[in-house]
Amino acid sequence: MITIQKIHHVAYRCKDAKQTVEFYKNYLNMDLLVCIAEDKVPSTKEPDPYMHVFLDAGNGNILAFFEITGHQEMDRDQNTPVWVQHIAFQVKDSEALEEAKNELSKKGLDVLGITEHGIIRSIYFFDPNGHRVELTCVTGTEAEMRELKNIAPAMLEEWSRTKRPPRQSQWLHEKEFSQRRS
């Protein structure tokens, strides 16, 4: 049986490796861990020069990027709305999220939010490659998170059958509404 310990890294394409590393260092305090440059893809042996950079995203998490030169310039998936594909990083709490929003705005980034999602709060912005980045903090209680885990299979099953938001998702909206009223 396979037992996953953690995600080692998630890799995205970038337009310029140096610019990308500088962005994540300057805006999110991520240190550069490793650079790997090759003329061939190790797994396929295809000639395809690249620079692969690895950034410390905290707590053993790694964010990686590839700059490749032998292909058409990168673009996002045009069949997917821009808000769907994103990289999300968790901050400690709501205060840290508000501080991050202020800091990023002062540094000139266009920051969307703070957006309330019932069990999390988030802000959004774009990196120089056009990747949407989310900073989020968990506001849901342990009991609320357990309840969401408990209803997740039924929600997925209903979505699979109807392709419409399941009735159980009303639970989250009711919680969000009650938070605003209190």
Alpha-carbon dihedral sign for residues 89, 91, 93, 94: negative
CB 25 within 8 A of CB 107: no
What pLDDT was estimated at residue 165? 84
Nearest to 61 by CA among 18, 85, 37, 90: 90
Write the DSSP assignment of 1-45 as a string of letters. --------EEEEE-S-HHHHHHHHHHHH-PPEEEEEEEEE-TTT-
End-to-end CA distance of the chain: give it in Å, rounded: 47
Kindly state which CATH superfamily the domain 86-138 is placed in. Answer: 2,3-Dihydroxybiphenyl 1,2-Dioxygenase, domain 1 (3.10.180.10)
Kindly state which CATH superfamily the domain 9-68 is placed in. Answer: 2,3-Dihydroxybiphenyl 1,2-Dioxygenase, domain 1 (3.10.180.10)
- pLDDT tens, residue by residue, 77-101: 888 888 999 999 999 999 999 999 9
Mean pLDDT of 110-137: 96
Please state, in angstroms and rounded to a whole number, the distance separating the CA atoms of residues 154 and 166: 8
Please state, in angstroms and rounded to a whole number, the distance separating the CA atoms of residues 182 and 178: 6
According to CATH, where is 3.10.180.10 located in the chain? 9-68, 86-138
> Taking the model in full, what pTM does it have?
0.87
Arithmetic mean of pLDDT over the chain: 90
- pLDDT tens, residue by residue, 2-38: 888 888 999 999 999 999 999 999 999 999 999 999 9
